[in-house]
C-alpha cells in the first residue's frame, strides 16, 4: 500500500526539482540536463502513457512525450513553440497544499494547490491533480499531472 508519506516525498522531490532547475538557469548551470533528469526520474514516460496537462499550455495542451514535457519546463527544444519555460522563471520554493490524497496498493492520487515562490518573494498559486504509480523499483512516478490557474485569476 502506498503511504501518505510516500506521496509527500514525491511532491517534495518534484518541488525541489523545479527549484534546482530554476537555480541552475539563474546561475548558468546545466538546467536542461536537470530538467531531463526531473522528467526521467519523476514521470512515468518509460512505464507507459503519461497524461500531462501543464498550467500554461493552451496550443499544445497535452504533453504525451518527454520531449514535449521538457519543452514546457525549459523551452529548449522547440517541441512546442508556445512554451516560455515554466521551470526557469526563477522559482525559489514550491509548497504543496493537498486538498485530498487517495492511496491504493500500487499508486495514489493527490489534488490541491501548489504555491510557487518567485525570486522577489511573491507567491503564485496553481491547482493540481497528480496520479502516481509505482515503478519496477517501488518508487512513485507521475502518470497523471493536470495543472491550472484558479478560476478568475
What are the tens digits of pLDDT across the range 2-27? 999 999 999 999 999 999 999 999 99
Low-confidence ranges of the chain (pLDDT < 70): none
How many angstroms separate the CA atoms of 98 and 95, rounded? Answer: 10
How many angstroms separate the CA atoms of 87 and 37, rounded? Answer: 13
pLDDT, residue 18, reads 98
pLDDT, residue 142, reads 98
pLDDT, residue 131, reads 98
Q: Which residues have a Cβ under 8 Å from the Cβ of 19 and sit 6 or more positions away? A: 91, 92, 93, 94
Residues in the chain: 153
Beta-strand ranges (E) seen in the chain are: 51-53, 93-103, 107-117, 123-134, 140-148
pLDDT, residue 2, reads 97
pLDDT, residue 152, reads 79
Query: pTM of the entire structure?
Result: 0.96
- Domains in the chain: ranges and CATH: 4-148 (3.10.450.50)
Q: Summarize the chain as % helix, strand, coil (round to 5).
A: 30, 30, 40
Amino acid at each position: 500500500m502506498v503511504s501518505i508519506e510516500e506521496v509527500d516525498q514525491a511532491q517534495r522531490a518534484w518541488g525541489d526539482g523545479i527549484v534546482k532547475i530554476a537555480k541552475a538557469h539563474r546561475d548558468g548551470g546545466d538546467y536542461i540536463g536537470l530538467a531531463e533528469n526531473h522528467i526521467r526520474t519523476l514521470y512515468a514516460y518509460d512505464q507507459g502513457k503519461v497524461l500531462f496537462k501543464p498550467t500554461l499550455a493552451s496550443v499544445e495542451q497535452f504533453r504525451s512525450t518527454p520531449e514535449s514535457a521538457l519543452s514546457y519546463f525549459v523551452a529548449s527544444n522547440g517541441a512546442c513553440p508556445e512554451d516560455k519555460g515554466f521551470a526557469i522563471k526563477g522559482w525559489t520554493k514550491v509548497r504543496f497544499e493537498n486538498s485530498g490524497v487517495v492511496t491504493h496498493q500500487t499508486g495514489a492520487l493527490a489534488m490541491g494547490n501548489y504555491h510557487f515562490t518567485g525570486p522577489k518573494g511573491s507567491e503564485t498559486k496553481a491547482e493540481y491533480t497528480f496520479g502516481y504509480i509505482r515503478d519496477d523499483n517501488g518508487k512513485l512516478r507521475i502518470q497523471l499531472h493536470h495543472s491550472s490557474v484558479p478560476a478568475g485569476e
